[in-house]
Each structure stands twice: as structure tokens, then as C-alpha cells.
């Protein structure tokens, strides 16, 4: 599989076989790292890490993964560079593309990461926008594979803000990979209709299903429960309204019992315990949730190695 030179902006751009390939590569890189073996595939490569929003996992994953493979990461916060303020995104992209071999971007608009890719001429990786968080989904899928040995045929239920970047990206990823996907959310927080339609097409091709509902009964039979913060970065002002809307959808003991299965819980983190998940339930699944966090590094490494590395 040759992904050289490709950007990673949304999972829409990747086929199920390509996603599978990235997961296999990540599993292989993880095994090697556990044995103390790191590669050299990014030797001589300079990588810009642009952050308009804060980050623990994504920033550290890109940094460690890059250094593990012999590359040089350069962190650029929104206050360090002119991006979109004193200089257009197009111009910043053309400058960075002359100096760097790859660019990670975390920020608000999906349009910004797309412009960076279009104008820089180097691979650009989406480290989260308001719309999507594709590298997170690779880590989620690697974790699910480690737990269940497969993806196809499983049922994943996302509970919470059903129109946020994680819910959107999971819908794309699950429908492509043959995972039955349910969004359990109040109707005010359902995803964009156009995206639903597009994902229904992917689901048809993979033989999976998508359902969007506000009925807690839909949780029955879930192999994987997934939740995320009720207010994403930049939405902090909406906290009171969201708490009111989402309280009935908190992942707590009684909700968990309604899966009727030995389910696992995933959370992309950071978590607001007491909101989307109780401390008790979170701690019960802490091992798998922190595997998921670790897997950010192995999967992000796979994306960089596949699209930029000498392999």
C-alpha cells in the first residue's frame, strides 16, 4: 500500500483497506516500540505542529512519534505565528511548505486544514477541527481491535453531543469499517444530514448500519460505548444549556447495565467526570481508556510514517 505524499484531513478520503493498513502498521510500530526498536523513517524530516487549540495527547503523540522515527518536530502555537491573522492561511501554508516536510494542524475550521494541504504542497495531518478528529478514530479502532480481535460486526454506541467532531468522525470510520454505529443524543444534537447521507453510503458498502436516536433503549447490545465532553473546545459558554440537555445521557451504572453485555467504554479524553461519565464507571474502564490514549501515539506514528516516511 502506498500512501506517500497523501494528507490525512478526514477519514472520508481513505478507503477501508487504507484504514486497515494504517491500523496494521500502527500495531507493528507498537510491537516494535515495546521491544525497544524505533525506526529512522523520518530522519532529516522537519514537521510543523500548529495548535490553535490546546492539546495534551495529540501534541505529545506527534512529538514523540516524530522523534522516535528520527524526525524533528516544531511546535507552533497560534500566538507564535501569523496564521490567519496578519497573514492569510494560503500564504502561511506556502511558507511552511518551503521549510517543513509535513504539517499537523489543530484548530477551529476544517477549511483551514484543507487550505494548508492545498497550498503547502506537503502532507498535512488533521489533529482536530470543529468538524473532525480523524487520528483519534484510528487510536479508537486499534484499541477495539486489541479488545475484540476485529472491527466488523461490532456495535458501537456514541452517547452525548452527537454532532461534535468525535461523533462525526466515528460515523465515517464505523460506516467504512463495518461497525454498526448508533448515536444516542437529544434531537438538538444530531449530526448534519448531509454527512449522515454520505455515511449511509459507506455503511451500505461495508454491510453495517447507522442509527441516530434519542431513545436510551438503543444502547442495548452495545459492544463499545463511547462518550466525550458535553462542550467541545470553543463551546465553553454553552455549558449550562448542554448539562440540561445531556444529563439523561450520562454514562453511569444504570445506563451501562442497559447494554445487557460485557461492553467496554472508550473516551477520547480529556474527561469531565460527573458530566458525561461518572468517576466510578470511568475508573472501571481506566485500563482500556488509557490504552486508547497511548494508541494515539502509535497510530499517529503510522500516519506520518506511511505518508512521509522512507519505508
Site residues, ligand NVA (CB under 6 A): 128, 164-166, 228-229, 232-233, 268
Contact between 152 and 178 under an 8 Å Cβ cutoff? The reply is yes
Contact between 89 and 119 under an 8 Å Cβ cutoff? The reply is yes
**Contact string (CB under 6 A) for ligand CP, positions 18-57, x = contact:** -------------------------------------xxx
Residue 228: contacted member of ligand CP, ligand NVA, none (CB under 5 to 8 Å, by partner type) = ligand NVA
CB of 76 to ligand NVA, least distance (A): 19
**Contact string (CB under 6 A) for ligand CP, positions 262-291, x = contact:** ------xxx---------------------
Name the closest residue to ligand NVA (Cβ).
232
Show the beta-strand stretches assigned E in the chain: 46-51, 72-77, 102-106, 124-126, 155-159, 180-184, 210-213, 224-227, 264-267
Question: For residues 27 and 30, what is the distance between their CA atoms, to the nearest angstrom?
Answer: 5
Contact between 41 and 302 under an 8 Å Cβ cutoff? The reply is no
CB of 299 to ligand CP, least distance (A): 12
Query: Of 104 and 223, which CB lies nearer to ligand CP in the complex structure?
Result: 104
Q: Which of the residues are catalytic? A: 106, 133, 136, 228, 268, 296
- C-alpha distances (whole Å) from 244 to each of 160, 240, 247 are 12, 6, 6
Residues lying near ligand CP in the complex (CB under 6 A): 55-58, 128, 136, 268-270
Amino acid at each position: 500500500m502506498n500512501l506517500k505524499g497523501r494528507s490525512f484531513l478526514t477519514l472520508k478520503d481513505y478507503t477501508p483497506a487504507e484504514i486497515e493498513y494504517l491500523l496494521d502498521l500502527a500495531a507493528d510500530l507498537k510491537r516494535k516500540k515495546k521491544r525497544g526498536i524505533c525506526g529512522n523513517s523520518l530522519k532529516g524530516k522537519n514537521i510543523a505542529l500548529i495548535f490553535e487549540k490546546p492539546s495534551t495527547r495529540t501534541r505529545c503523540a506527534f512529538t514523540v512519534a516524530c522523534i522516535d522515527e528520527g524526525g524533528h518536530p516544531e511546535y507552533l502555537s497560534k500566538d507564535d505565528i501569523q496564521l490567519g491573522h496578519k497573514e492569510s492561511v494560503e500564504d502561511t501554508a506556502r511558507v511552511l511548505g518551503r521549510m517543513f516536510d509535513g504539517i499537523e494542524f489543530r484548530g477551529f475550521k476544517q477549511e483551514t486544514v484543507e487550505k494548508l494541504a492545498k497550498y503547502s504542497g506537503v502532507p498535512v495531518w488533521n489533529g482536530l477541527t470543529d468538524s473532525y478528529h480523524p487520528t483519534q478514530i484510528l487510536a479508537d479502532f486499534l484499541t477495539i481491535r486489541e479488545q475484540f480481535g476485529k472491527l466488523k460486526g461490532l456495535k458501537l454506541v456514541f452517547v452525548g453531543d452527537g454532532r461534535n467532531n468525535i461523533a462525526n468522525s466515528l460515523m465515517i470510520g464505523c460506516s467504512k469499517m463495518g461497525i454498526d454505529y448508533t448515536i444516542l443524543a437529544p434531537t438538538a444534537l444530531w449530526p448534519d444530514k448531509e454527512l449522515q447521507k454520505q455515511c449511509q453510503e459507506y455503511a451500505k458498502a461495508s454491510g453495517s448500519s447507522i442509527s441516530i436516536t434519542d431513545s436510551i433503549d438503543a444502547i442495548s447490545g452495545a459492544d463499545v460505548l463511547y462518550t466525550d465532553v458535553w462542550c467541545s473546545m470553543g463551546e465553553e459558554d454553552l455549558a449550562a444549556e448542554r448539562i440540561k440537555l445531556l444529563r439523561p445521557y450520562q454514562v453511569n451504572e444504570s445506563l451501562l447495565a442497559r447494554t445487557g453485555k460485557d461492553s467496554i467504554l472508550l473516551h477520547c479524553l480529556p474527561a469531565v467526570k460527573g458530566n458525561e461519565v461518572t468517576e466510578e464507571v470511568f475508573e472501571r474502564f481506566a485500563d482500556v481508556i488509557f490504552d486508547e490514549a497511548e494508541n494515539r501515539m502509535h497510530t499517529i506514528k503510522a500516519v506520518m510514517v506511511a505518508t512521509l516516511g522512507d519505508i
